[in-house]
Structure 1
Amino acid sequence: MPHYLRLKHCSVLAYITLTVLLAFTGVAMAAQTGTLKLVSVGIGDRDNMTLRAHKAIVNADVFLAMHPEQTRAKLADLIGDKPLHDAGHGLFGRMGHRGSAEQRAAQQDKTRQIIRSAVAGGKHVVILDYGDSTIYGPQTGYLKEFADLNPEVVPGISSFNAANAALKCGITGGSQSHSVIITAAMGAREGYKGKDTLTKLAETQSTMVFFTMGLNLSEVVKQLKTQYDAITPMAIVLYAGSSDKEQVIRGTLNTITTQVEDDKLPFEHLIYVGDFLR
């Protein structure tokens, strides 16, 4: 074989060999790359979990959850004896931090190590949450903290979705407005500095839905009456999504505070205001 043909033949073989090696290297690297997911298990009854969430949990290697022991008991058949760590409450976000600053910093460092080591080792990490993680969710801070890991959010049924279903009517069907405002009523608190004060939000007379973290019902009603008629319908949905406990209390701005007392309402409730309820 002429010399130039031998060189050409060797070059082709070298190219093929390099291509194969790179392909195998790519496969190996893909196999070693783990994932991070924020997964909602839904709200209320177990069958409110989506199929996508179920699949993500079954395929996970490492878990984090806000209440690890309760979560393991509730999802024992899915989690089994896999590692389950404390995700904290608003650990990497702005929501209510529990414990001292030193305790929080220590838990942050520990959590970073757990997640980054697991993902680097090819493990699939799942942070378990409830409802819609992006609506007043305590774990959304993980998405920014670990943005370089390209975390995936697996959506879930929110208490908002479940409560809408419990009301059995279209919440955008009001006569004065076809919009819906979701709020935590922080604008009703004395000294609140944000632009979204409750009276400002109420000016459009849109349907309003209150996520009720620390909400003072009497004060909210008082401020709503400055913009809505006193006979505007209200509804309080208790334990949305829980078939054995779900309950709807209906009234008006005039009657609701005599129908219920703040200290008698469970943590799991949403409040609706708007003429769509008529």
Structure 2
Amino acid sequence: MTLIALRPAILLRTLAAHSVILLWCVSLATGASETTVEAPSPSAQYGQLFLVSTGIGDLDNMTLRARDTIAEADIVFGMKRLREQLAELLQGKDTYEAGHGLFRTLGRNDEDQQELEAQARQVIRAAVADGKSVVILDYGDPMIYGPQSGYLQEFADLDPVVVPGLSSFNAANAALGRAIVGGGKSQGIVLTSAPRETDEAARQEAFARLAKAKPTLVLFTMRSDFEHTIAALGRWYPADTPIAIVTHAGDRQQQVITATLATIGEQIKGRELPFEHLIYVGDFLR
């Protein structure tokens, strides 16, 4: 005999879907000559929760699977900007504000966040139990610094499905037009956020760990202090180490700025970098 362990959520769905078979088997065991079996109610069918990437930059960077999943959804959660961009695709659907970083410890826990979390719990659980499809919209690759990844932990018992998308990392690689693995001295890549420790000693220790193996560094900046970041890198990498900044990756207004650690400061002097920029450091740029 083979024993198969099922998670509670999956077991409930399996029992609901096969209730007719179970009842038929019971009738045979009891010798009943006639048994009237009703099909399970729609609410017993269970819906599905999706975390869907809309890609990065222009909307044509969205995958077909993502577009189809959104089109078939009954209910959609998303930040205001995404809901506005996808207004045509979302027509006729119930839409809700998804917030930013809900169900995660990001230093914010005000009344607005608590209200959004309470609304999401109520709406999503009721909708899935009622057989509906619910989509949470996200950017880029939801598993690389995705602001909505907290939904996966909060609703883990619903077995949410992640629909991957184009990351700003992928789009920036294309903008650079260079293979970031191979060539030069570096054979590895580190994707990380630029250290934002307020304590200078902690900042230097973080960069020392990153630079120890001299890998290609790809820094997701996320409001980090650019000058401090470059100064910290300069203590661990040679001054002639190539650096590139990609702004608005995947967008028609994307730009690439290349220099060295010694010259990048002068290169961007007087310019205000947008929130949407990545920093590349490594020999592959030579």
Q: Would you say same fold, with TM above 0.5?
A: yes
Corresponding position: 1:106 with 2:119: no
Equivalent position SS for 2:88: helix
Q: CA RMSD in A?
A: 2.6
The answer on whether the counterparts of 1:164 and 1:171 sit within 8 Å (CA) in structure 2 is: yes
Q: Which residue of 2 aligns with 1:52?
A: 65
Corresponding position: 1:37 with 2:50: yes
Counterpart of 1:258 (choices 252, 262, 266) is 266
C-alpha distance in structure 2 between counterparts of 1:113 and 1:71, whole Å:
22
Deviation, 1:36, is 0.3
The answer on whether the counterparts of 1:232 and 1:252 sit within 8 Å (CA) in structure 2 is: yes
Provide, for residues 16-74 of structure 1, a one-character-per-residue CA deviation record: whole Å limited to 9, x for no partner.
966x948x44xx5687311100000001111110111011001100010122xx32331
Q: Which residue of 2 aligns with 1:140?
A: 149
C-alpha distance in structure 2 between counterparts of 1:153 and 1:30, whole Å:
23
What are the ranges of 5 or more consecutive residues in structure 1 without an aligned counterpart? 1-9
CA 1:224–1:12 in structure 2 vs 1: closer, same or farther (change >3 Å)? closer
- Superposition pairs of residues 1-278 of structure 1, within 5 angstroms: 11=28, 21=37, 24-25=39-40, 28=41, 32-67=45-80, 70-95=81-106, 97=108, 101-186=110-195, 189-190=198-199, 197-242=206-251, 244-261=252-269, 264-278=272-286
Equivalent position SS for 1:210: strand
Provide, for residues 242-271 of structure 1, a one-character-per-residue CA deviation record: whole Å limited to 9, x for no partner.
1x2011000000011111148611111111
C-alpha distance in structure 2 between counterparts of 1:80 and 1:199, whole Å:
51
What are the ranges of 5 or more consecutive residues in structure 2 without an aligned counterpart? 1-26
Deviation, 1:186, is 2.1
Q: Which residue of 2 aligns with 1:4?
A: none
CA 1:103–1:199 in structure 2 vs 1: closer, same or farther (change >3 Å)? same
Equivalent position SS for 2:140: coil
Q: 1:160 is matched by which residue type in structure 2?
A: F
Q: 2:185 is matched by which residue type in structure 1?
A: Q
The answer on whether the counterparts of 1:95 and 1:138 sit within 8 Å (CA) in structure 2 is: no
Deviation, 1:13, is 10
Equivalent position SS for 1:63: strand
Q: 2:130 is matched by which residue type in structure 1?
A: G
Provide, for residues 57-104 of structure 1, a one-character-per-residue CA deviation record: whole Å limited to 9, x for no partner.
01100010122xx3233112211131111111111112353xx53332
CA 1:156–1:96 in structure 2 vs 1: closer, same or farther (change >3 Å)? farther
Deviation, 1:144, is 0.5
Q: Which has the larger radius of gyration?
A: 1
CA 1:148–1:11 in structure 2 vs 1: closer, same or farther (change >3 Å)? closer
Q: 1:120 is matched by which residue type in structure 2?
A: A
Equivalent position SS for 1:160: helix
CA 1:191–1:253 in structure 2 vs 1: closer, same or farther (change >3 Å)? closer
Q: 2:156 is matched by which residue type in structure 1?
A: A
CA 1:11–1:239 in structure 2 vs 1: closer, same or farther (change >3 Å)? closer
Deviation, 1:160, is 0.4
C-alpha distance in structure 2 between counterparts of 1:84 and 1:140, whole Å:
19
Count of aligned pairs: 260
* Higher fraction of helix: 1
Provide, for residues 106-162 of structure 1, a one-character-per-residue CA deviation record: whole Å limited to 9, x for no partner.
221111001111111111000001101111111111000000100011000000000
The answer on whether the counterparts of 1:187 and 1:198 sit within 8 Å (CA) in structure 2 is: no
200-209 or 215-224: which moved more? 215-224
CA 1:14–1:29 in structure 2 vs 1: closer, same or farther (change >3 Å)? farther
Deviation, 1:204, is 1.1
TM-score normalised per structure 1:
0.85
CA 1:193–1:251 in structure 2 vs 1: closer, same or farther (change >3 Å)? closer
The answer on whether the counterparts of 1:188 and 1:220 sit within 8 Å (CA) in structure 2 is: no
